[in-house]
Amino acid sequence: MPFRWNPELRPEDITPEELFRQRRRFMKSAALVGVGAVLGMESLEAAETSAPLGEVRSGVVTLNEKQTPFADASGYCNFYELGTGKEDPSRQADRLVTKPWSVLIDGEVGRPGRISLEELIKPHPLEERVYRMRCVEAWSMVIPWVGFSLGALLQRFEPGPKAQYVSFETILDPERLPGQKRDILEWPYREGLRLDEAMHPLTMLAVGMYGRVLPNQNGAPLRLVVPWKYGFKSIKSIVRITLTEQQPVTSWNAHAPGEYGFYANVNPAVSHPRWDQSRERRIGEFLRRETLPFNGYGEQVAGLYTGMDLTRFF
């Protein structure tokens, strides 16, 4: 029988979207519990995280340092939208809905518009790059990201002659994201780069890590990774990329300008009012190690800052 309009259908018969989503969430978790009961808990974990990534070119950027275990990299996160404790984001990861996902690309670009995540990723071959990740809180990890150069993406949208900076925004969903119900930071989370930093070949957009799709708590489905800057620059769960003429407002900088600069390059020589930045604790190690200028990427990126006083532009 062909579909027919039901004239008896009244507005109150329609399931509200939130309720619909709640039911979906419940059914999903119920299904996973069922699967878990049959295959054991490890499979439950795998079912949640091992979504296929397609073809990945490995070894594009390698690092001769021990990789942080996946459990630590996905269990110890700063993602205030999902809670301010280090383990809150992994616990509340399912509060972030990543499907469907689209990204608005606007500002000083020749071809502005909204694009689905699938269309955004499609033309870019995925690469694995192992980077150091240095948090401003003086801990660090080594993470194999999967993604592609931000620069390649930006080229597709044809940055205009006035474009000087790139601004990013995280999803705003206070209904679901527990952290956004309170004004811990000004939501949505914002970050930004100078255009030449954004175009640098090391700067990447990640869609996965450890060969799998990004876990929600690590910024699924699309996040920035800028390995020579403190971790808070590498904004998670991006929904908007805007090319601008002016230096954009960034969240932590706006929250405490004396502590978090716009540049936020890893710099052991620039002291921070909270954490000694000369050394860091690599997750999994006991003794602290020396922090390297530009997080060890100075050879590649120091040239971006020639002539700049990095104690002033910290």
Rounded CA separation 62/21 (Å): 41
Residue 28 or 181: which CB sits closer to another protein? Answer: 181
The answer to the question of residue 258 lying near another protein (CB under 8 A) is no
- Binding residue (CB under 8 A) for another protein from 23, 91, 162, 255: 255
Burial class (CB in 10 A: 0-12, 13-18, 19+), 124: middle
Rounded CA separation 35/41 (Å): 9
HSE-up (13 A, CA, CB side) for residue 203: 22
The answer to the question of residue 72 lying near another protein (CB under 8 A) is yes
Contact 237, 221 (CB under 8 A): yes
- Binding residue (CB under 8 A) for another protein from 116, 271, 311, 313: 271
Cα→Cα distances 224→227, 271, 302, 304, Å: 10, 25, 20, 19
Give the nearest distance from C-beta 45 to another protein in angstroms.
Answer: 16
Interacting residues with another protein between 73 and 112 (CB under 8 A): 73, 75-76, 80, 84, 86-87
The answer to the question of residue 187 lying near another protein (CB under 8 A) is no
Task: State the binding string over 26-65 for another protein (x if CB under 8 A, else -).
Answer: ----------------------------------------
Contact 271, 277 (CB under 8 A): yes
Give the nearest distance from C-beta 286 to another protein in angstroms.
Answer: 7
- Binding residue (CB under 8 A) for another protein from 30, 39, 51, 71: 71
The answer to the question of residue 139 lying near another protein (CB under 8 A) is yes
Interacting residues with another protein between 275 and 304 (CB under 8 A): 276, 278-279, 281, 283-284, 286-288
- Tell me the DSSP string of 91-149: HTGGGS--SS-EEEEEESBSS-EEEEHHHHHTTSPEEEEEEEEE-TTSEEEEEEEEEEE
Residue with tokens 């009012």: 273
Give the nearest distance from C-beta 173 to another protein in angstroms.
Answer: 19
User: Furthest-apart CA pair in the chain: how many Å?
Assistant: 74
Task: State the binding string over 199-238 for another protein (x if CB under 8 A, else -).
Answer: ----------------------------------------
Sheet of 190-194: strands edge to edge? 113-116, 102-107, 238-244, 165-170, 190-194
Positions that interact with another protein (CB under 8 A): 71-73, 75-76, 80, 84, 86-87, 139, 182, 184-185, 255-256, 271, 273-274, 276, 278-279, 281, 283-284, 286-288
